[in-house]
Amino acid sequence: MTLKVYNTLSGKKEEFETIEPGEVRMYVCGPTVYDSCHIGHARSVVFFDVVYRLLLSMGYRVTYIRNFTDVDDKIIKRANELGVTSEAISEKYIAEFYRDMDALNVKRATLEPRATHHIDDIIGIINVLIDKNMAYPVDGDVYFRVTAFEGYGKLSGRKLEDMEAGARIEVDERKENPFDFALWKSAKPGEPFWESPWGQGRPGWHIECSAMSWQLLGESFDIHGGGKDLIFPHHENEIAQSEAAFGKSFVRYWLHNGFVNINSEKMSKSLGNTTLIKDILDVYHPEAVRLFLMSNHYRSPIDFTEQSMKESSGNLDKLYALLLRVSDTYGNLPIIRLNSNNKARSGPVWKDFFAAMEDDFNTAKGLAVMFDAVRKTNRLLDDVTGETAFETKIQVEVLTTDIVKIANILGILSEIPMEYFERKQKDALESSAVDPEKIQKLIDERTAARKSKDFASADRIRKELEDMRVAIEDRPEGTIWKMMD
């Protein structure tokens, strides 16, 4: 069993081998904190969260870095518009990022550095690059000399010559080459700045990641990730800076996730269809969002629609309903949860799931394995008889342990099933203005009618409840109800 990952650098799936045995060093580009996070951020952050969880489950010691870009033109622009400091903007959106991602059950990274806390490291790298003649200062700016770095374009598969042909890039006369990019930008009036050998200014966008990864992970590390859009120019430029500065291979495996479309359309500010995480979480359970994000391969585009979210919500219900059913039947869910953390106790379902995940994080296939197991477990529970009870219990426990273990990797099923359904009901009630006491009264009436075999009345009451969007289920232990979606 070996993990295989698709490496953007080679364009192939490769066997995953760490630089240091048993240890993974991973850096993922975090957000530029100038606005609220949207579902696209969620995809990237949740995907790498799953990668992180999987690596941990494989027994690796993982150092996971996810940065915040807290100095940038867009932040400055926003701050000026609102008449506040850049810092105020970045603090606000960092806080929002945590609120959104915590809600989505995303684990914190090992370290979550900010660009502004690493200005000295940034200046240090720029100095090295200038000394090596890979960069040049002009009027307080410093540019990277792309033609001096032989491998420029190797990540994105471009050649400088090809790009120049169709380039629509502003010509800056001070640059030696139009593709030279800023390592340091001189401060204009009203902009935040730091002192540097080239005067007051601030770092360019790409250099911070080279500086922080160097400081926190070293000159070479295992995984670098981010959205597909970062391949060029951001990651291409990071490679150029880091490899030029340190003369070593920068990153072994480059992982890039695909985009989220909204109703088959590219999500963009100009189309006005930017879908924010916080707005989605007003309507859908965070774990339903995770389930949705896992429903296709991370490198493919995924389409956010009401239908797909409803499906994911329904699937989440199905999973929690199974857990509830198991604990109602056996009352041993805490034991199962405990076992699910024990590596030695994994069954065949976990092995199938893991095999899918090992193949470049095939979560869609992994989900299929899990839903197969759900069906198997329900089938067993349907067929419980006195004779088979003990044997069934063991089989159910093995299956459920695997399901919970899988859920731990996907970052779902973190709630107590009973509480999940209670909260769901409470939320639905709040948005529907239906009186729960009235519901209970009607259910009691119906139960009485059923007892006296007055099924006409019973059905009439059920219809009445349905009109209130209340669905009922008659169970051996009594009638339960829930709000319809």
Task: Kindly identify the residues of this chain, within the stretch 244-263, that bind RNA according to CB under 7 A.
Answer: 257-260
Q: Which of 59, 52, 61 is nearest to 23 (CA)?
A: 61
Among 22, 81, 190, 379, interactor with RNA by CB under 7 A: 379
Residue ranges in 29-88 that form contacts with RNA under rule CB under 7 A: 29, 31-32, 38, 40-41, 43-44, 74
Three-state DSSP class for residue 226: strand
Q: Which H or E element spans position 316?
A: helix 306-330
Return the number of the residue (278 or 318) whose C-beta is nearest RNA.
318
- Which two structure tokens, joined as six digits, stand for 241? 């800076």
Return the number of the residue (302 or 396) whose C-beta is nearest RNA.
302
**DSSP structure class, residue 434:** -
Return the number of the residue (246 or 371) whose C-beta is nearest RNA.
371
Q: Is 392 in the site for RNA (CB under 7 A)?
A: no
Residue-wise burial string across 190-216, b where 16 or more C-beta atoms lie within 10 A, e elsewhere: ebbbbebebeebbbbbbbbbbbbbbbb
Return the number of the residue (158 or 345) whose C-beta is nearest RNA.
158
- Which two structure tokens, joined as six digits, stand for 256? 């890039």
Residue-wise burial string across 461-470, b where 16 or more C-beta atoms lie within 10 A, e elsewhere: bbeebeebeb
Q: Is 328 in the site for RNA (CB under 7 A)?
A: no
Q: Which residue carries 């033109």 as its tokens?
A: 73
CB of 31 to RNA, least distance (A): 5
Q: Is 213 in the site for RNA (CB under 7 A)?
A: no
Among 119, 276, 368, 468, interactor with RNA by CB under 7 A: 368
CB of 20 to RNA, least distance (A): 27
CB of 37 to RNA, least distance (A): 8
DSSP alpha helix (H) spans, 173-305: 207-217, 236-246, 277-283, 286-293
CB of 430 to RNA, least distance (A): 22
Three-state DSSP class for residue 202: strand
CB of 338 to RNA, least distance (A): 25
Q: Which stretch binds RNA (CB under 7 A): 120-128, 153-161, 207-215, 418-426?
A: 153-161
Q: Which stretch binds RNA (CB under 7 A): 79-87, 100-108, 111-119, 473-481?
A: 473-481
Residue ranges in 85-144 that form contacts with RNA under rule CB under 7 A: none
Q: Is 382 in the site for RNA (CB under 7 A)?
A: yes
CB of 270 to RNA, least distance (A): 9
**How crowded is the C-beta side of 451, counted as CA atoms within 13 Å?**
8
CB of 81 to RNA, least distance (A): 15
- Which two structure tokens, joined as six digits, stand for 235? 């990651």
Among 63, 196, 327, 362, interactor with RNA by CB under 7 A: 362
* CB neighbour class for 154 (10 Å; exposed up to 12, middle 13-18, buried from 19): middle
Residue ranges in 426-465 that form contacts with RNA under rule CB under 7 A: 450, 455, 458-459, 462
CB of 303 to RNA, least distance (A): 6
Q: Is beta strand 4-7 parallel, antiparallel or unpaired with respect to 181-186?
A: unpaired
CB of 482 to RNA, least distance (A): 8
- Which two structure tokens, joined as six digits, stand for 259? 């985009």
The values of phi and psi at residue 276, to 5°, are -80, 145
Q: Is 162 in the site for RNA (CB under 7 A)?
A: yes
**Which residues have a Cβ under 8 Å from the Cβ of 449 and sit 6 or more positions away?**
455, 457, 458, 461
# of chain residues touching RNA (CB under 7 A):
77
* CB neighbour class for 275 (10 Å; exposed up to 12, middle 13-18, buried from 19): middle
Cα distance between residue 104 and residue 465, in whole Å: 33
Residue ranges in 269-308 that form contacts with RNA under rule CB under 7 A: 295-297, 300-303, 307-308
Among 205, 284, 350, 420, interactor with RNA by CB under 7 A: 205
CB of 259 to RNA, least distance (A): 3
